[in-house]
Amino acid sequence: MAGESELERALTKRAKGDAEAVCLKTSYDSIKAYLVKNYYPWVQANCPYFTDHGEAHIASVMHSASELVKDQLVVKRGRANLSPIDIYLI
C-alpha cells in the first residue's frame, strides 16, 4: 500500500509504550500481510464484477478513515481520545 495511514502510524506510536497496543499492532500487521498476499489478489482475480478492492482501494479507505478521526488521534497532556483498541477497530 502507498505508505501507512495516520491510523496505522498512531497504532505504531502507541505500541512503543503500551503492551496492549503492541499486541494489537502485531495482530493488525499479521492480518494486513495475509490480506495483501492472499485476499486482495484473489478478489481481483475471481470477482471482476466487484469494484476495486485491491491494495490501492484499501489504502484510500484507510486514508479516508484517518481523515475522519485525525483530531482524535492526537495525544494531549498524556491523554488520548482514542485508545489503541479504538484505533485497531477503525
Report the length, in residues, of the chain.
Answer: 90
Residues with Cβ within 8 Å of 71's Cβ and at least 6 positions away in sequence, in order, are 81
In one-letter notation, the amino acid at residue 48 is P
* 33-90: pLDDT as tens digits: 999 999 888 888 898 888 777 888 888 999 999 999 998 888 777 677 899 999 999 9
pTM: 0.83
What is the phi/psi pair of residue 3, to 5°? 75, 170
β partners of residue 76: 79
